[in-house]
Amino acid sequence: MIGYIVFPYLIRKRQMNRIEFRYIRKKNQYEQLEKRAIEREISNLELRNQVLETDLSKSLQDILKSDLNTLKVISFYSDFEKVYPDFNDSLSKKVPNITPHEVKICSLIRMKLTAKEISRIMNVTPASVNKARYRIRKKITLDTKEDLDLFIANI
């Protein structure tokens, strides 16, 4: 009599163990596939970001070499927004009273341009760029020992 109860119980227990094992195995396979898909997506995004950065550098070099076509300059700023999407927001948070002109100068500083190159792009004198840099330093309240380029690069 006990055999009628114990035997089906053991069979069911073994079946449940197999089902649970299959479930765990499928779950692990799904997690591995999901992890690979995420890694692939990250590598694609990194590759796309590298391409955008090189395109941004090329367009910047084209602007510096050309006659400073305003359409090229505008396209540069839009490309800059694509490569560094949070730059303007984080800069505005750190320096709330910054003007759009100063944001443009900061974005060009972020691209590691000299005052002379910035002046060519913005069609102003290098002295104007240096004055704007000084005003930005005052708004940020940087010491004379601290580097504006380094501060902007860390944003």
Answer yes or no: is pLDDT of 63 > 70.
no
Which has the minimum average pLDDT: 1-10, 77-86, 93-102, 138-147?
A: 1-10
| Higher per-residue confidence, 89 vs 79 | 89
CA 122 to the chain's CA centroid: 25
In whole angstroms, give the CA distance from residue 81 to residue 88.
8
Amino acid at 127: A
pTM over 0.85: no
